[in-house]
Structure 1
Amino acid sequence: MTTTTTTDPAYVDPALINPRAVRLVNAFKDFLARMRDEEGLTYQDFSVAADLLQRAQQNTGAPLAMIFGPLYSEVFVDDRDGYTPAAGVDAFTVIHDTPHIGNPGTLPMRPDEPGTPLFASGRVLDGHGRPIQGAKLEIFHAADNGNYSGLYDDGVPKYNLRGHLFTDAEGRYAFTTVTPSSYADPHVTAVDGVAEACAALGRSLYRPAHIHYEVHHPDLITPWAGEIYFKGDPVIPVDFVGGTKAPPSLQADTVLHEDPKDIAAAGLQGPYRTTEFDFVLKTRTSPDTIALKETAA
Structure 2
Amino acid sequence: MINYFTEEASVEAVNGRIGEAARPRLKVVMESLVQHLHAFVKDVHLTQEEWEIAIEFLTKTGQICSGERQEYILLSDVLGVSMLVDAINNRRPPGATENTVFGPFHVADAPVRANGDTICLDGKGESCLFEGRVLDLEGNPIAGACVDVWSDNAEGFYDVQQPDVQPKWNNRGRFMSEADGSYSFVGIKPVSYPIPDDGPVGKMLGALGRHPYRPAHMHFLVTAPGFQKLVTHTFVGGDTYLESDAVFGVKKSLIAPFERLEGDKTLWRSTYDFVLVPETFEGPF
TM-score (norm 1): 0.77
Aligned mate of 2:169, from 144, 159, 165: 159
Deviations for 1:90-142, whole angstroms, at most 9, x for unmatched residues? 432111111122112211412xx221111111121222222211100111001
Sort the Cα spacing of 1:13 and 1:289 in 2 relative to 1 into closer, same or farther, 3 A.
closer
Sort the Cα spacing of 1:148 and 1:118 in 2 relative to 1 into closer, same or farther, 3 A.
same
Equivalent position of 1:91 in the other structure = 103
| Secondary structure, counterpart of 1:211 in structure 2 | strand
Equivalent position of 1:104 in the other structure = 116
Q: CA deviation at 1:13?
A: 8.7
Partner amino acid, structure 1, of 2:62? Q
- Structure 1 CA distance for aligned equivalents of residues 30 and 169 of structure 2: 40
- Could you tell me whether the CA contact under 8 Å between 1:124 and 1:278 is conserved in 2? yes
- Could you tell me whether the CA contact under 8 Å between 1:127 and 1:286 is conserved in 2? no
Q: CA deviation at 1:85?
A: 2.2
Equivalent position of 2:268 in the other structure = 273
Deviations for 1:221-260, whole angstroms, at most 9, x for unmatched residues? 3x22232212221212222223xx2010221111223xxx
- The sequence identity of aligned pairs, in percent, is 25
Partner amino acid, structure 2, of 1:235? Y
Deviations for 1:189-219, whole angstroms, at most 9, x for unmatched residues? 233x554422343422211111111111111
- Structure 2 CA distance for aligned equivalents of residues 284 and 114 of structure 1: 39
Partner amino acid, structure 2, of 1:214? L
Equivalent position of 1:231 in the other structure = 237
TM-score (norm 2): 0.80
Equivalent position of 1:216 in the other structure = 223
Deviations for 1:159-212, whole angstroms, at most 9, x for unmatched residues? 011100011112111111111101124xx2233x55442234342221111111
Equivalent position of 2:143 in the other structure = 133
Equivalent position of 2:31 in the other structure = 26
- Could you tell me whether the CA contact under 8 Å between 2:62 and 2:72 is conserved in 1? no
Structure 1 vs Structure 2 CA RMSD: 2.7
| Secondary structure, counterpart of 2:193 in structure 1 | coil
Q: Does 1:205 align with 2:212?
A: yes
- Structure 1 CA distance for aligned equivalents of residues 63 and 247 of structure 2: 17
| Contiguous gaps of at least 5 residues in structure 1 | 1-9, 291-297
Partner amino acid, structure 2, of 1:209? A
Q: CA deviation at 1:281?
A: 1.7
- Structure 1 CA distance for aligned equivalents of residues 141 and 84 of structure 2: 29
Sort the Cα spacing of 1:40 and 1:159 in 2 relative to 1 into closer, same or farther, 3 A.
farther
Aligned mate of 1:182, from 171, 192, 195: 192
Partner amino acid, structure 1, of 2:188? V
| Contiguous gaps of at least 5 residues in structure 2 | 1-16
Equivalent position of 1:253 in the other structure = 257
Equivalent position of 1:73 in the other structure = 82
Q: CA deviation at 1:22?
A: 1.8
- Structure 2 CA distance for aligned equivalents of residues 276 and 40 of structure 1: 52
Partner amino acid, structure 2, of 1:109? L
Partner amino acid, structure 2, of 1:212? H
- Structure 2 CA distance for aligned equivalents of residues 67 and 102 of structure 1: 35
Q: CA deviation at 1:285?
A: 5.4
Q: CA deviation at 1:278?
A: 1.6
